Amino acid sequence: MIKVRMEVNMTRFLKPGWQLHALAAVVLILAGASTAHADIKIGVFGPMTGDAAGYGQSLRETVELVVKERNAAGALLGQKITVIYGDDAGKPEQAVSVAKRLTASDEVLIMLGSISSPASLAASQVAQQSETPQIVISGTAQRITTQGNKWVFRSAIPDTAFAADLVDFINEKFAGKKKVAFIYVNDDFGKGGFEGFKTRGQKYGLQIVAEERYARGDLDFTSQLSRIKASGADFMVDWSRYAEGALIIKQMKQMGIDMPYFGSDGQAHPKFRELAASAAEGAYYPTHFSVTAIGGNKVAQDFTAKIRAAYNKDPDFVHAQASTSSSTKRATRPCRRPWSSSKTVRKPTRDDAVVGVRIFVKAAFYSARSVDSKVACRRSGSAHRATSSRVRAACARSVTSLADVRESFSWQAKSA
């Protein structure tokens, strides 16, 4: 059995789960107090099949749990939530098709998805064209919120921030190691991680001695790993999702490459440890959430208990990012008065949500403890506060059409 040793630094600002919380807030402000109106249709899409289906499963499990709980408690100020799901398999072209169906045929009022950055970016063009709000779950590419698309929200920590924190962590814990071998998937997710790491690494004099790319879906990494082995690197960084990450670390061990391994948040999903098995021993990677780090946070404790009761397993970071848990109740309060600024929107999407943590995990042995470090996790939330907007209208009426959404909101994305 692989146990994990968590090196934890708690941060209060970013709360994984605020995007569904924001979703509740966005819809709630439109819901009004009437109970005599049509259901609120929400589109949820992600990789429900394919090599990233573990992320999609976590997303769907949480949405189903939250919606069931919310509807049982009176829905959104009387309007029942109906969820329409879509499977993009993590592929950009499929995400476009799904987003078009959700917006044109299903006429959802808001879209929640996707998980991967390329799929999220592709779907964001449909969101812009159809003027349908899109809240990205775990897409971490910087470009998601810097492309000027005013209809897109994001909750995940951008790659640039995650990579910078990883550099800080490595400098603190492995100060003598300066030569880096970096392998990454050749898409927005991987490129963002590499650029963020390289930029931050200059602060500490880190030297990239090997830069290797691969295409998503590749299975054989021996060529890249052979060059890494010969590079003289002190450690390797692998910016991958869990499927490729598991293959890379297994092949790394099979080739006798003995150096510290650092992954991305993509490896934080339980599927990485499941697929990599014993090869995951000694790996470090960052994550947004872990049940071993929730401490005395009651909201996170309650959320964890609900996932365990419903699915007989611990929640992962995607569960956490997709959760509203008890925080949806708080989100209804501002909807009884006008929202006049982005600050008013941001507050209910942060307070009382599942605790946000930036964690570096070493798969070796279990000993959860706090790290006395202001460096490793200090930037959480600072650069990617809610990409929410000025809200112009009050909760004066119920949602009946997408036109109500367009009339009531002015979306202005913030740089992440």
Q: What is the mean pLDDT of residues 300-304?
A: 87
CATH of 160-287, one of 3.40.50.360, 3.40.50.2300, 3.20.20.70, 1.20.1090.10: 3.40.50.2300
Q: Which residues make Cβ contacts (< 8 Å) with residue 314, sequence separation at least 6?
A: 270, 291, 304, 307, 308
- Number of CB atoms found within 10 A of residue 203's CB: 11
Q: What's the CA gap between 256 and 168, in Å, rounded?
A: 27
pLDDT at 219 over 90: yes
CATH of 14-157+291-351+382-410, one of 1.10.10.10, 3.90.920.10, 3.90.930.60, 3.40.50.2300: 3.40.50.2300
Q: What's the CA gap between 333 and 84, in Å, rounded?
A: 26
Q: What is the mean pLDDT of residues 283-301?
A: 82
Band of pLDDT at residue 141, cut at 50, 70 and 90: confident
Q: What is the mean pLDDT of residues 135-146?
A: 85
Which of these ranges, 98-102, 111-115, 247-251, has the smallest mean pLDDT? 111-115
pTM over 0.75: no
- Residue scoring higher pLDDT (415 or 71): 71
Question: Element (H or E) spanning 234, and its range?
Answer: none
**What residue spans of 269-394 are helical by DSSP H?**
270-276, 298-311, 317-321, 327-331, 342-350
pLDDT score, position 334: 38
Q: What's the CA gap between 411 and 413, in Å, rounded?
A: 6
pLDDT at 127 over 50: yes
Extended strands (E) in 129-283 = 134-136, 152-154, 179-185, 207-214, 235-239, 261-263
Q: What is the mean pLDDT of residues 313-333?
A: 62
pLDDT at 313 over 50: yes
Query: By percentage, how much of the chain surpasses pLDDT 70?
Result: 69
6-10, 158-162, 220-224, range with greatest mean pLDDT: 220-224
Band of pLDDT at residue 324, cut at 50, 70 and 90: very low
pLDDT score, position 356: 35
Band of pLDDT at residue 37, cut at 50, 70 and 90: low
pLDDT score, position 158: 84
Answer for the pair 304, 361: CB distance below 8 angstroms, yes or no: no
Question: Element (H or E) spanning 392, and its range?
Answer: none
Residue 280 C-beta-side C-alpha neighbours within 13 Å:
27
pLDDT score, position 394: 25
Band of pLDDT at residue 235, cut at 50, 70 and 90: very high
Answer for the pair 44, 84: CB distance below 8 angstroms, yes or no: yes
Phi-psi region of 325 (alpha: psi -120 to 50; beta: other; left: phi over 0): left
Q: What's the CA gap between 387 and 58, in Å, rounded?
A: 23
pLDDT at 84 over 90: yes
Question: Element (H or E) spanning 11, and its range?
Answer: strand 5-11
Bridge pairing between strands 207-214 and 235-239: unpaired
pLDDT at 19 over 80: no
pLDDT score, position 114: 92
The mean pLDDT of the chain is 74
- Residue scoring higher pLDDT (15 or 386): 15
pLDDT at 408 over 50: no
Residue 394 C-beta-side C-alpha neighbours within 13 Å:
5
Where are the CATH 3.40.50.2300 domain residues in the chain? 14-157+291-351+382-410, 160-287
Rg value, the chain, Cα: 21
Query: By percentage, how much of the chain surpasses pLDDT 90?
Result: 46
pLDDT at 338 over 50: no
pLDDT score, position 355: 33
| Strand, helix or coil for residue 283 | coil
Q: What's the CA gap between 298 and 325, in Å, rounded?
A: 11
pLDDT at 340 over 90: no
Band of pLDDT at residue 367, cut at 50, 70 and 90: very low
The distance in angstroms from the start CA to the end CA of the chain is 38
Numbers of helices and strands, H then E, in the chain:
14, 15
| Cα dihedral sign, 166-167-173-179 | positive
